[in-house]
Amino acid sequence: MEENRQLLEIASKTAAFAYAPYSGFKVGAAVLTDDGMVFTGCNVENAAYGSSMCAERTAVFKAVSEAKTNLKKIAVAREDIGETVYPCGACLQVLSEFMYDGTVIISKNGEPVEIKLKDMLPYNFELKK
């Protein structure tokens, strides 16, 4: 449980770096790899909303760009760690590519809550070759 709290705190601190001039909705994420590395991300908005990027995907893409594709957990938080925030559908789909057996850590009244990604996205899209 201490690991979950640490990840949640890292995500919350990372939310402070978000660029969210349009929505004011700052989010941070911290993803843990199977070898113990942590990659962070924050949301980055753009006037052309479709060009914006969520915190979760930013963290995952940073990990992947460093050759880390075995992800274990991801924590998602606002600057106010007591506020609950969940990954959007696009983020859940990206997470399912790298950690379908992993967990998402969210905050409920400032306390970490662990949810299996499979429970959040039971029918993920898979491209069959």
What domains, with CATH codes, occur in the chain? 2-120 (3.40.140.10)
- Please indicate whether residue 121 or residue 1 has the higher confidence score (pLDDT): 121
Rg (CA), the chain: 14
pLDDT value at residue 55: 98
Looking at 1-129, list the stretches that DSSP marks H as alpha helix, in order from N- to C-terminal side. Answer: 2-15, 55-65, 89-99, 117-120
Q: How many residues appear in the chain?
A: 129
Using an 8 Å Cβ cutoff, are 49 and 22 in contact?
yes
- Please state the φ and ψ torsions of residue 93, each to the nearest 5 degrees: -65, -45
Whether residue 1 has pLDDT greater than 90: no
Taking the chain, what is the end-to-end CA distance rounded to the nearest angstrom? Answer: 39
Catalytic residue among 56, 66, 79, 111: 56
* Distance (Å, whole) CA 85 – CA 103: 15
Closest CA to 115 of 129, 101, 98: 101
pLDDT one-digit tens code per residue, 36-94: 999 999 999 999 999 999 999 999 999 999 999 999 999 999 999 999 999 999 999 99
Whether residue 125 has pLDDT greater than 80: yes
* Distance (Å, whole) CA 129 – CA 77: 36
pLDDT value at residue 41: 98
pTM, to two decimals: 0.95
Catalytic residue at 79? Answer: no
- How does residue 95 score in pLDDT terms, banded at 50, 70 and 90? very high
Closest CA to 31 of 97, 82, 111, 121: 97
